[in-house]
Structure 1
Amino acid sequence: MTRSYDKTGRLYPFCRDCKHQQENEMSHGLFTSLYEAGKPFALIDCRERRDYVAGHWFGSTNIPLSLFSNRLRFLFKTPDFPVHFLDWQDAASSEAMHQLVAFGFTDITCHKTEKPSEMGRGFVKGEYVWSKAFGEVVAHQIDLPEITPQQYLADYQDAQLFDVRPTAEYQDFTLPNSQSLPNSLLLANVAALKGTGKMSLLHCAGRTRSIIGAFTLMASGYDGPFAVFRGGTQAWQLDGHEREHNANRLFAADHEATDAVAGFLRRWQIPSARVAQDAIAAYAHENQSGLLFDVSDDAATGQPLAHGIIKISGTNLIQQTDRSIARYHVPVTLFDQGSGSRAAFAAFWLRAMGFIVNIVYLDAPLEPTEATNPAISHKGTMHDVVATAGLDQWQKDGVPLYDFRPSPAFNSGHIANSQWQNISAILGQKPAATSVAIIAACTITGSIICDCLERHGWQIAGLYIWDDGDNEPKTMATGGLELPLDESALFAGRHHGVLADARDYLAWEEDLPAEIDTPIHDLWCALLSSAPKLD
C-alpha cells in the first residue's frame, strides 16, 4: 500500500499514484516502475548506513535520518521535487517523514516496505550498488581483458601497473611499483600511455574502477596493449602478497590534450559548450532544475560552490553515483577547465548508465561558498546553544551528556564521560527519567534532535555545539566505538588484512548483475550495445 502526504504532512485518504499496489508485493519492482515512467523522481531510504548496506532496494538513495540536515540540502535544489519515501514502519521512518515536511518538501509519496525473505529481485546488499552493478555488466558484456595476480607474476612483470583511483587513495596503499593514473585523467594521457610501448595493467582496490578505466580506454579507440588487473589490491593480498604504502609515482599529467578530448566527445556525441565567467550565474539559474557538478579537481569531496554547483571528483561521482545523484531523469551538467578530460570521462560513463549529460568549459575556477541551499530550510525552532561554561556545569551536576555527532568525529575526540548516540537508535528507547544534555555538530542538526526528543517524551537540559578548541585534552577521550550504526559493517575488514572479507567482497561485486532489477540490467545491456558515434 502506498500513502501520500500533502505539504502540511496530512495523510491523503488514498494513494495518488499507486493506489492499486498490493501490500504483499511491498517494494519489488518499485524503482523500475518509477524509472520506466520517465518522470523526475527520488527514492529515499532513511535508515542508518549499517542497516542500509546490509540490505536495501536497488536504486534507492540512502539519506540517514541522522544526516538529514546536510544531505537533503546537498542532494535537492528545491523542496517541490517528487520524493518517494520508503517507510520501514518504525519510529525512525515516522520521524524522517515528519522532518521531510519540516524541511518544506511538498511532493512526497510514502511506500510501505519491509525486508523480503531473501536477497535478490532488486533487494541488494552493499554500497554504491548502482555504479558497481553497472561496472560488472560492462565487464560481462564487453569481454574486457583481465590478468590475475598469478598471471602477472608469471608472464607480465614487464607490464606497467597503473592505479586508477584518486591519488590520495593510491598513496594510502597500492600494488608494488604501481603508478598513479586516475581515471579522470586517462583521456588526457592516452598518448603518453601508448608512448611507453608497454602493456598497461589498470587496477583499483577491487574491480569497479579498473573496469571503468579499461572501458574508457576502449571507448577512446586506444589501440595499445592493456588489461584489467583482476581484483586489484584485494586479490593481491588474497594471494599472500604485501601492498605498498605511501607511494608517490605520478604518471598522470594534466595535459591540455584538447584534440584527443574533442575527438572523444564527437565520437560519442556528448554535447559541450564554453560559458564565460560572467555568464555562469545565468547559466546555473537557467539549469537550476538539473544536477550541476564541477569535476575539475580530483581531490574534491562535495564542497559547495557558487550558484548551487557541487565540486566533486569525477572518478568518485561515477563510482558512487547513488550517493551523489539522488534525482533520476534530470539533466546533469559537468563543469571543467582546460581540455575537459575529467568531464568527458565522467560524462561518458553517466550517459552509459542512462543519464542525460552535457559539459561546460570554464575559463577560471568557480568560487567556493559557505552558504547552504536556502531553498531547503528547516521550519522548526532553533534552540539556544550553551557556551563551554554550561558544558562544564552539566558535568559538575552529573547531567548525562549525549553526543550525537557522526561516529568518526566521536572516535577522534569526545568528552570522556559522554555517551555516543544516534537519533535513529534512540527513538526506540524509553526516555530517560532525568534531563539529558545534547552535543551536536551544528545548530540545525542539534535543534532538530532536541525537538525530536522532546516530542518523544525526553527532557532536554540544553544544546552544546562541538568545537575542538573548547575542551582541554585532559577531559577528552578517543575511540570507543566499533561498528557503529552510522558506519557499514559489511566486508569492513577487506582493506585491513581480513582476507575473508576481501574474498567475499570480490565475489559480491561479480554477482551483482544477477541481483538487481532485470529491466534495468537489460536497459544497460541495450545502451552498451550501441556502436560508438565516429567522427
Structure 2
Amino acid sequence: MPALDPQEAKRRLHAPGEIACLDMREHGQYGEGHPFLAVPCPYSRLEALVGALVPRRDVPVVLIDEGDGVAERAATRLAAMGYGRIDWIDGGAPAWAAAGYTLFKGVNLPSKTLGELVEEHWHVPAIGPDILDSWLEQGRPLQLFDGRSAGEYTKMTIPGSRSFPNGEVAHRWDALSPGEAPVVINCAGRTRSIIGAAGLALMQPGAVVLALENGTQGWALSGRALAYSSAAGPLPQIDRAASRLRADAFMRTHAIARIDRVAAEGLAEDPGRTTYLLDTRDPAEHAATPHAAAVSAPGGQLIQATDHWIGVRRARVILADDTGLRAALAAFWLRQLGYETYVLPDIESWPADWRLPVGEPPPDFVAPPAISAGEAFARAQAGDLLLDLRGSLAYRAGHLPGAAWSIRPRLPAVAGRRVLLAGDETATALASRDLAEGGATSVHGVTGDASEWRAAGLGLDSSPDAPADADAIDHLFFVHDRHDGNLDAARRYLAWELGLVAQLDADERGEYRLDALDLRTACNGLTS
C-alpha cells in the first residue's frame, strides 16, 4: 500500500468518479486544519465509523494523518476489513500544507461553504438584528423559526423564536397559516439561516422568506439577550396531501428523480457505485417507525453536516420520507454539493423486513473483560497501568486516582504490562486490540463512569491543566465557547464562515453544482 505525494492525492480527490478522503486524526487535530474534502474518521473509532461512511469496500480511499504513521496503521485495519484500494498521503497534513494547499479550520466545510456560495450566487434576502428587533417591538406580524435541531434551540435561541428544524416548515406549511407575513429563519450562525430560507422560498414560491443575518451569534453581538432553556414544542400536524403536492411540484421544477423500492434495489446492486439510504424525517418520526435499512438523517441537519453521514464524494444518495417533501429538499441541496440524488417516498408503508443491499454489517467489537472501578483502583496502586480513554475534558474534570489520560493513536508502550482501560465500550474494545498487539500481558475494562464512581464512594482526582491543550487532540478549542457568552469567539467564528469562499481554489469551488437561481424575486423583492 504505497503513500501518495500531496499533488497526486489532490489530483485524485478532484478527478471524476467516487473517492473517500478520510482524516484519521482526532477531532481537535482535524478541526484545526484539514483538506477541504477530508471527512473526519478518527483512528480512535475507525472500525466503528468507517462502514457507514464508506459502505462499498472497493471504493478508492485516501487517508491523511499528522505525518505520524497513524494512517499506515489505519490502512492495515481497513485492509483487514476488506477495503482493497487504500492509499495515504505521505507526510500527512503537514506535507499537504507544505505543498501549498490550504488546511481549513473548523468542521463540516463543504456544507458551511455551500451556505456562503448560495448567499453569494442566489442573493438570499436577509434581515439584520436591528430591523428584526424593531419589527418585534412594533408587533409586526411575522413568523420567526429556528432552523436547528430541537436540542440546539433549547440551548439558546432568539426570544420569540419557535423551534422548526429546516425542511419542516415547508412540510407543515398548511398548519402555520402565515398569510402574507414574512417568515424569518435563524440558526446559530449563517449556514442554516441561509439554507433554510432559500429552501423554503424555493419550496413555497411567493412566500416572503428572510434569513436572519449571523443568527443567534449576530443577535448577541448586537447587544441583545438570548433566550436559554426554551422548550421545543411539538411540531404541528401536517396535511399529507398538500405536502405531497408541494413535493411533486418541486421535483418537477428542479428535475429531482422519484423512485420506488425496486428501483432503489437496482441502484444499490450496482457494484461500481456507492449508494446511501437516509431517512430525512424528524427524529421522533424515525424512532416511532424505525426501518433498519434507512439511517436517520433529518434533512436540515444532513445538509448542515453532510460529512457526518456521507464519506464518499460523488456517491449516490437515496433520500427517504413519507410524502417526499423533506427528501426532495434534501436531494436538491445534496445535488448542489455534487451528489447524485433520488427520492424514495412512502417510508411508513415499507415492509418491516425490507432491506436495501448496501454495505456490510459493522464488525463485532470484543470488549475486554470487565472489572469494577474499585478493583481497578487497587490494581493501579499495585502497579497495573490504568489508562482513561474518555474525553480529555472529562478526564480533567474527574478521573480515578492513578489513571493517565490516553487515546488510541497515542497509547503508551505496554510490553509486559497489565493494562486497565476506563472509557466507553467502543473505545476500550478498539484500543484493547492495539494494546494486545503491543505486548500487554492482559487488558481489562473498567465499568462505570465518573458519576457512578462517585456514587460508589470513590474519590476522583481532577487536573484542570492535564492533559495540556496541545495534548488534548480529541477536543477542538477553535471558538469552542462561542455559544457560551464568549463574544470574541463568536466574532471569530462568523469571520471564519464569511472567509470560507475566498479560501477555495478552483478545484474546490468546482465540486459544487449550483443551479442558476435568484431568490430576490422569490421573496417579493423584500430585503433589509
Same fold (TM over 0.5): yes
- What's 1:181 paired with? 164
Structure 2 gaps, min length 5? 520-528
* Cα deviation, residue 213, structure 1: 0.8
* Cα deviation, residue 474, structure 1: 1.4
| Contact 2:146–2:165 (CA under 8 A) maintained in structure 1 | yes
In structure 1, which of residues 52, 57, 66 is the aligned counterpart of residue 44 of structure 2? 66
- What's 1:475 paired with? 458
2:486 aligned partner, one-letter code: V
| Contact 2:48–2:362 (CA under 8 A) maintained in structure 1 | no
In 2, the alpha carbon distance for the partners of 1:65 and 1:117 equals 21
> Is 2:445 the partner of 1:464?
yes
In 2, the alpha carbon distance for the partners of 1:341 and 1:351 equals 15
| Contact 2:435–2:443 (CA under 8 A) maintained in structure 1 | no
* Cα deviation, residue 377, structure 1: 3.5
- What's 1:504 paired with? 492
In 2, the alpha carbon distance for the partners of 1:123 and 1:155 equals 42
In 1, the alpha carbon distance for the partners of 2:378 and 2:286 equals 38
2:25 aligned partner, one-letter code: R
* Cα deviation, residue 80, structure 1: 2.5
What secondary structure is seen at the aligned counterpart in 2 of 1:494?
coil
1:269 aligned partner, one-letter code: A
- What's 1:144 paired with? 124
In 1, the alpha carbon distance for the partners of 2:61 and 2:206 equals 45
- What's 2:64 paired with? 86
Equivalences for residues 307-456 of structure 1 within 5 A: 308-337=293-322, 339-361=323-345, 362-364=347-349, 374=360, 377=363, 384-388=368-372, 391=376, 394-395=379-380, 397-407=382-392, 415-426=400-411, 435-442=418-425, 445-456=427-438
In structure 1, which of residues 205, 208, 231 is the aligned counterpart of residue 191 of structure 2? 208
In 1, the alpha carbon distance for the partners of 2:152 and 2:175 equals 22
| Contact 1:446–1:465 (CA under 8 A) maintained in structure 2 | no
In 1, the alpha carbon distance for the partners of 2:35 and 2:147 equals 29
Structure 1 gaps, min length 5? 6-10
* Cα deviation, residue 88, structure 1: 3.6
List per-residue Cα deviations over 1:378-417 (Å, max 9, x = no partner). Answer: 8x9x575144386365246242310223457757875454
* Cα deviation, residue 226, structure 1: 2.3
Q: Give the structure-1-normalised TM-score.
A: 0.81
In 1, the alpha carbon distance for the partners of 2:287 and 2:413 equals 37
| Contact 1:123–1:516 (CA under 8 A) maintained in structure 2 | no
| Contact 1:181–1:252 (CA under 8 A) maintained in structure 2 | yes
- What's 2:525 paired with? none
| Contact 2:61–2:86 (CA under 8 A) maintained in structure 1 | yes
Number of aligned residue pairs: give it. 497
- What's 1:198 paired with? 181
> Is 2:527 the partner of 1:527?
no
List per-residue Cα deviations over 1:216-236 (Å, max 9, x = no partner). Answer: 123225213221110111111
What secondary structure is seen at the aligned counterpart in 1 of 2:111?
helix
In 2, the alpha carbon distance for the partners of 1:353 and 1:281 equals 21
CA 1:36–1:51 in structure 2 vs 1: closer, same or farther (change >3 Å)? closer
Deviates more, 1:70-79 or 1:360-369: 360-369
2:304 aligned partner, one-letter code: Q
List per-residue Cα deviations over 1:296-355 (Å, max 9, x = no partner). Answer: 234699999755532222211110012221112221011112x22221221111112121
> Is 2:480 the partner of 1:487?
no
2:317 aligned partner, one-letter code: V
| Contact 1:43–1:326 (CA under 8 A) maintained in structure 2 | yes
In 2, the alpha carbon distance for the partners of 1:129 and 1:302 equals 29
| Identity across the alignment (%) | 25
In 1, the alpha carbon distance for the partners of 2:398 and 2:270 equals 42
Deviates more, 1:191-200 or 1:234-243: 191-200
In 2, the alpha carbon distance for the partners of 1:303 and 1:93 equals 40
Deviates more, 1:385-394 or 1:205-214: 385-394
Equivalences for residues 205-244 of structure 1 within 5 A: 205-244=188-227
In 2, the alpha carbon distance for the partners of 1:290 and 1:143 equals 33
- What's 1:133 paired with? 113
| Contact 1:303–1:310 (CA under 8 A) maintained in structure 2 | no
1:142 aligned partner, one-letter code: W
In 1, the alpha carbon distance for the partners of 2:427 and 2:297 equals 24
- What's 1:267 paired with? 253
* Cα deviation, residue 69, structure 1: 2.2
Deviates more, 1:353-362 or 1:94-103: 94-103
